[in-house]
């Protein structure tokens, strides 16, 4: 590797590696997880778990059953049995709720500051009491009434050559994976596109670029900056990979983790490697575009203008990925878009993990993106060299369209 190219890569890489903003970006997700866990623990600690006091009106037999099972229902049955007295006690916040029992229904009247009452649990309990009462009236035993009321169940299974999975779980995982990958890649792409755009714009606006190009060449500066930022991204992904491995080793024997693994059967080490390559290739594509657009700016005030075409392009696969997560990946248009460079990174990993695309299809999609990256990098170098020392007052998007028309591949 050319010494000047290596120096440019090192300079770009270590300049950002030593910056506080990079480490805030790397540690941000962990900080959010810790803060979220702390908030959740705080809510759990300060939550009032004391049982709600409930006055039961009418049907002494039901009241007696509720009193017998009040610990199970996390309620406390009040001694008040008169409705008028109960209403007065409710207004004075002396009780939390009034339960009025009817023949086939009940009404639960609560005050705004009442302790929590699990209404579904209470409803199921009263339903069982009602069934038992009707069973006695019709001379049915418990086994007969259970046989009559047992719901008819149908279990949906999604099966392919690799595994079988509950259809409901499959739909949930499908949506989470597709949406999650789209969001993560969108954040990474925009973050690193902004880094390289700021890097080039700062040097161009301060006229340092002239000095750098006098000492090396546009080819060296162009490739060096892109490769330096890609190395920075690889460092961030490696940090997350190590953290994820540590979390896996620490929690792999936990029951909740084992349940999660059953749902995420498509997420294998090979899939993670594929996803990392997708992120690297996709981000590299957007980095090349960012380098081209940033070469057109005059000063730092135009950075956002330079990034706007990239933002709009990156939003397309992001929105499609989010829609695919909520609507499913079976749409024919989504399958086609999964092969289009700049778009495929948000869709193909989710399709692969959910066994809606084969490994051959996934590799073809990645190969197309890689070939596009090679061609765009070569083409972008010409645009970068032509514009990095030029200054214009025209709109950057307009300039970009003009140079695409004028410059041959």
User: What span, in angstroms and rounded, lies between the C-alpha atoms of 384 and 405?
Assistant: 15
* Cβ atoms of 54 and 77 closer than 8 Å: yes
Q: In what order do the strands lie in the sheet with 75-77?
A: 75-77, 52-57, 97-101, 106-110
Contacts of 334 (CB under 8 A, 6+ apart): 320, 324, 347
- Confidence band, pLDDT 50/70/90 cuts, at residue 381: confident
Q: Is 100 helix (H, G, I), strand (E, B) or coil?
A: strand
pLDDT of residue 166: 46
Q: Is the pLDDT of residue 118 over 60?
A: yes
User: What span, in angstroms and rounded, lies between the C-alpha atoms of 372 and 374?
Assistant: 5
Distances (CA, A) of 278 to 143, 243, 324: 57, 20, 18
Q: Is the pLDDT of residue 164 over 50?
A: no
Query: Per-residue pLDDT tens for 217-243?
Result: 888 888 888 999 999 999 998 988 888
Of 82-91, 259-268, 385-394, least confident by mean pLDDT is 259-268
Q: What is the mean pLDDT of residues 31-46?
A: 80
Query: Per-residue pLDDT tens for 173-212?
Result: 556 666 777 788 888 888 888 888 888 888 777 767 667 6
Domain range list for the chain: 52-149, 167-406
Q: Which CATH number fits domain 52-149: 3.80.10, 3.30.1490, 3.40.1350, 3.40.190?
A: 3.40.190
Helix (H) or strand (E) holding 65: helix 60-68
User: What span, in angstroms and rounded, lies between the C-alpha atoms of 214 and 227?
Assistant: 21
Among all chains, which residue has been given the structure tokens 């259970």? 146
C-alpha 267: how far from its chain's center?
15
Give pTM, 2 decimals: 0.69
Strands 97-101, 106-110: pairing is antiparallel
Structure tokens, 78: 């009040």
Between 290 and 105, name the one with better pLDDT. 290
Using only C-alpha atoms, the chain has a radius of gyration, in whole angstroms, of 31
User: What span, in angstroms and rounded, lies between the C-alpha atoms of 180 and 185?
Assistant: 9
Q: What is the mean pLDDT of residues 1-14?
A: 84
């Amino acid at each position: 590797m050319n010494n000047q190219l290596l120096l440019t890569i090192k300079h770009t890489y270590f300049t950002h590696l030593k910056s506080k903003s990079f480490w805030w970006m790397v540690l941000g997700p962990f900080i959010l997880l810790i803060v979220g866990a702390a908030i959740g623990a705080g809510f759990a600690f300060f939550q009032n778990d004391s049982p709600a006091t409930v006055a039961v009106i009418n049907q002494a037999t039901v009241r007696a059953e509720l009193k017998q099972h009040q610990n199970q229902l996390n309620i406390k049955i009040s001694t008040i049995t008169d409705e008028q007295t109960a209403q007065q006690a409710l207004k004075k916040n002396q009780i939390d709720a009034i339960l009025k029992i009817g023949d086939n229904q009940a009404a639960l009247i609560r005050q705004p500051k009442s302790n929590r009452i699990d209404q579904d649990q209470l409803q199921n309990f009263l339903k069982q009491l009602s069934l038992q009462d009707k069973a006695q009236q019709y001379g049915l035993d418990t086994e007969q009434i259970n046989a009559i009321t047992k719901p008819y169940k149908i279990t949906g299974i999604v099966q392919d050559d690799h595994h079988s999975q509950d259809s409901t779980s499959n739909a949930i995982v499908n949506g989470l994976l597709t949406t999650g990958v789209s969001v993560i890649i969108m954040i990474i792409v925009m973050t690193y596109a902004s880094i390289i755009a700021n890097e080039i714009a700062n040097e161009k606006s301060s006229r340092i670029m002239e000095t750098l190009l006098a000492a090396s060449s546009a080819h060296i500066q162009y490739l060096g900056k892109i490769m330096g930022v890609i190395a920075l991204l690889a460092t961030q992904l490696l940090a997350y990979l190590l953290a994820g491995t540590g979390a896996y080793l620490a929690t792999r024997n936990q029951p909740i983790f084992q349940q999660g693994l059953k749902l995420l059967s498509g997420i294998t080490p090979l899939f993670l490697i594929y996803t990392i390559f997708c992120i690297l290739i996709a981000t590299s594509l957007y980095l090349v575009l960012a380098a081209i657009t940033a070469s057109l700016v005059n000063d730092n005030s135009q950075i956002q203008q330079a990034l706007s075409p990239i933002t709009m392009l990156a939003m397309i696969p992001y929105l499609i990925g989010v829609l695919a997560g909520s609507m499913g990946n079976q749409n024919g248009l989504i399958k086609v878009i999964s092969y289009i460079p700049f778009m495929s990174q948000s869709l193909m990993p989710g399709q692969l993990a959910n066994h809606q695309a084969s490994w051959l299809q996934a590799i073809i999609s990645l190969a197309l993106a890689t070939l596009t990256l090679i061609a765009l990098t070569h083409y972008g170098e010409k645009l970068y060299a032509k514009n990095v020392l030029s200054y214009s007052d025209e709109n950057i998007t307009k300039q970009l369209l003009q140079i695409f028309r004028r410059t041959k591949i």
